[in-house]
């Protein structure tokens, strides 16, 4: 991934939903977006996915080369919350329909995460860079809400790279035996 791994994941999921022609809105990354989109009335966006960082916790930095890449100076394990609001506006008073809509959206989101491609690099988001955690239902809704919000905790893992200053490559050389013409000379191989 280049740039922000979180943005690459969010954009990759958005592109996957669009390519599959699924009516799922993936909003901008951030907690403020959730606060602005939390009131999902029957006329609102029924299925939406948001990627957020937990408040205060930016993860763990591990020194060393976890990726076996000599250019990485550290490894970042970054917590991310995926908020999924699934709703069935056609049956606003049917709690089972709302639960089913939320669970269907969760499964679609997991499929999208698995198949996400970073739009900048055109490379797949590697599942080995993701660690899935707890799934919980958020119960801060008011009486007029339609739908169910599920939040999935994940850890997005990846290297922090050093600046590449220059690339060097060793050159092979061979010692030639002394000749009558002079002392031992090193000669570079082509």
Question: For position 154, what pLDDT does the model report?
Answer: 96
**187 within some domain:** no
**22 within some domain:** yes
Q: Could you give the number of structural domains in the chain?
A: 1
Residue 131: pLDDT above 90? Answer: yes
Domain that holds residue 27: 5-163
Mean pLDDT computed over 152-180: 72
Residue 138 is part of a domain; what is its CATH number?
A: 3.30.2000.10
**112 within some domain:** yes
According to DSSP H, which parts of 50-163 are helical?
A: 95-115
- Pick the closest to residue 37 from 132, 147, 153 (CA basis): 147
CA distance 99 to 80: 23
Q: What angle do CA 36, 23, 51 make, to 5 degrees?
A: 45
Model pLDDT for residues 31-78, shown as the tens digit of each residue: 777 766 654 544 455 688 999 988 888 889 888 655 566 677 888 899
């Amino acid at each position: 991934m280049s740039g922000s791994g979180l943005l690459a994941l969010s954009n990759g999921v958005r592109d996957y939903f669009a390519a599959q022609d699924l009516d799922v809105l993936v909003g901008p990354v951030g907690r403020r977006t959730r606060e602005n989109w939390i009131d999902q009335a029957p006329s609102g966006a029924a299925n939406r996915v948001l990627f957020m960082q937990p408040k205060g916790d930016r993860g763990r930095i591990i020194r060393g080369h976890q990726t076996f890449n000599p250019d990485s100076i550290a490894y970042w394990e970054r917590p991310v919350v995926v908020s999924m609001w699934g709703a069935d506006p056609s049956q606003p008073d049917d709690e089972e329909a709302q639960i089913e809509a939320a669970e269907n959206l969760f499964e679609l989101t997991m499929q999208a995460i698995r198949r996400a491609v970073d739009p900048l690099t055109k490379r797949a988001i590697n599942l080995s860079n993701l660690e899935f955690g707890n799934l919980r239902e958020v119960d801060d809704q008011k009486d007029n809400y339609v739908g169910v919000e599920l939040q999935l905790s994940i850890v997005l893992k990846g290297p922090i790279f050093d600046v590449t200053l220059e690339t060097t490559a060793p050159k092979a050389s061979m010692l030639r035996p002394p000749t009558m013409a002079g002392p031992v000379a090193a000669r570079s191989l082509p």
